[in-house]
Amino acid sequence: MNHDNDCIFCKIVKGELPCVKVFEDSLTLAFMDISPVAPGHVLIIPKGHYPDMLSVPTGQLKAVSRSVQAVAKACGEAFAPDGINVMQANGAAAGQTVFHLHVHVIPRNRGDGLRLHIESGPSAEAAHLEAIAARLRTVFES
């Protein structure tokens, strides 16, 4: 698997940086966003390093899409939100800040006041993320 030694998401894949894991399979990893814009904000990444959706091989993009759908379904089951945003940025001008392909799954509720573009909030407590991730993992285990 190709990795970039300077990439924080590659370091998460390799276990060199911690994450609050929600789900993984052979090609993808899903973990809690460290600065959630809403409770239950999850990132899905390919385990290989590809900067964005334009550079990832189609087979791995399919694997990411499969995991995105699984996480979005788990989010619906665990939190019963009014809606779910699936968002992904390519390039700094599009709001991308981490240059390892990732897809945001964000539970939404009527009147939650979130704007449609991605704006990181303050970092959440690890214990808070753990509690939310546990509810999502329950869906995958059932």
Catalytic residue among 41, 100, 102, 104: 102
Q: Which does 131 bind (CB under 5 to 8 A by kind): ligand AMP, Zn ion, none?
A: none
By the rule CB under 6 A, 19 interacts with ligand AMP: yes
Residue number with the smallest Cβ distance to Zn ion: 7
From the list 49-57, 87-95, 105-113, 125-133, the region that binds Zn ion by CB under 5 A is 49-57
Encode 19-82 in three state secondary structure: CCEEEECCCEEEEECCCCCCCCCEEEEECCCCCCCCCCCHHHHHHHHHHHHHHHHHHHHHHCCC
The DSSP code for 139 is H
Work out whether the CA dihedral 98, 11, 138, 56 comes out positive or negative. Answer: positive
By the rule CB under 5 A, 7 interacts with Zn ion: yes
Whether 102 is catalytic is yes
Binding site for Zn ion (CB under 5 A): 4, 7, 9-10, 49, 100
Active-site positions? 102
